[in-house]
Amino acid sequence: MQGTVKIFDAPTRSGSVLLDDGTELPFDGEAFAAGGLRLLRLGQRVNLAMDGDRISVVTLSTFPLPSTD
């Protein structure tokens, strides 16, 4: 799944993304850390992995999602 960064708070490493249908989903610092990133910019496209109804991984759209095997 992909989305666009709406909010990113560097100190907490959390924020939210907008899905293509306009739905806003929050992510926490754990999901950010799982993607191996250092920083996100507003408007940046990202790949998302979901664990139920929560985002478990956020990474750049040019990066593959980490394997969950």
CATH number at residue 14: 2.40.50.140
pLDDT at 65: 75
Give the number of other CB atoms < 10 A from CB of residue 69: 3
Task: Kindly report the pTM of this predicted structure.
Answer: 0.86
Q: Residue 21's domain spans which residues? A: 2-60
Q: Is residue 13 part of a domain?
A: yes
Can you give the three-state secondary structure of the chain, one letter per residue? CEEEEEEEECCCCEEEEEECCCCEEEECHHHHHHCCCCCCCCCCEEEEEEECCEEEEEEECCCCCCCCC
Q: Quick check: is 68 in a domain?
A: no
Query: Tens-of-pLDDT digits for all 69 residues of the chain?
Result: 999 999 999 999 999 999 999 999 999 999 999 998 999 999 999 999 999 999 999 999 887 777 655
Q: Is residue 54 part of a domain?
A: yes
For CA atoms 31, 7, 39, 12, the dihedral sign is: negative
Query: What is the number of structural domains in the chain?
Result: 1
- Within a domain: 26: yes
